[in-house]
Amino acid sequence: MHFNPYGGSAAQVAAGLVNIGDVPAARLVEMMRTEGMTLASLTPAQAAAVVEWGRRLRPVFATPEPDKQVDLVNELLADSACRPFVSRHDKMAPHLHYALDDDDRVRRVMAYSAGGLAHLVCDDPGRIGACAREDCEVVFVDTSRNGRRRYCSTRCATRVHVSEHRDRQRV
């Protein structure tokens, strides 16, 4: 059971924003909704702002240094977050919010993703990662049982292992 949705689905939204790149607003909303965010829509201008925000999230995933991750997340929080409060909207159980209910959608996405990364960095910074395959730019939140994920997918891991195997066979 996840007691705090920001560390789970919000961190996944952050990874999704980094990985998705520049896509239409509807695709951004679809990705965020798939990860559990209740955002209904974005205008093209809002989508562009969210895409730019995703670019700012990448360094958190790319650095292996926990102290640097904390500094980066603190910068994101300063640029995005309000004071946390408990919300009871849409007949849902009380839950934590970092953006006010009447904040615009971009601010809500920023606060949600920065809050998720903050919880993840505090709870288990080793669960934030970037694919170890040389030419892969994909980032991830490691939800594996042992927390030792190095690749974004089995496909990337297999490519690396096959390449290493072939290199050993040539020697």
Can you give the CATH number for the domain in which 82 is found? 1.10.3300.10
Q: Which residues contact 139 (CB under 8 A, 6 or more apart)?
A: 15, 18, 19, 58, 61, 62, 128, 129, 130, 131, 152
Distances (CA, A) of 22 to 14, 17, 47: 14, 9, 9
If residue 87 lies in a helix (H) or strand (E), which one and from where to where? strand 85-87
Residue with tokens 């798939």: 34
Residue 147: domain span: 5-170
Residue 94 has a pLDDT of 87
CB-based contact 108:49 (threshold 8 Å): no
Distance separating alpha carbons of residues 171 and 169, to the nearest angstrom: 6
Whole-model pTM above 0.85?
Answer: yes
Residue with tokens 């980066």: 72
Report how many domains make up the chain: 1
Residue 36 has a pLDDT of 85
Residue 7 has a pLDDT of 64
Residue 4 has a pLDDT of 53
Return mean pLDDT, the chain: 89
Residue with tokens 């705090």: 4
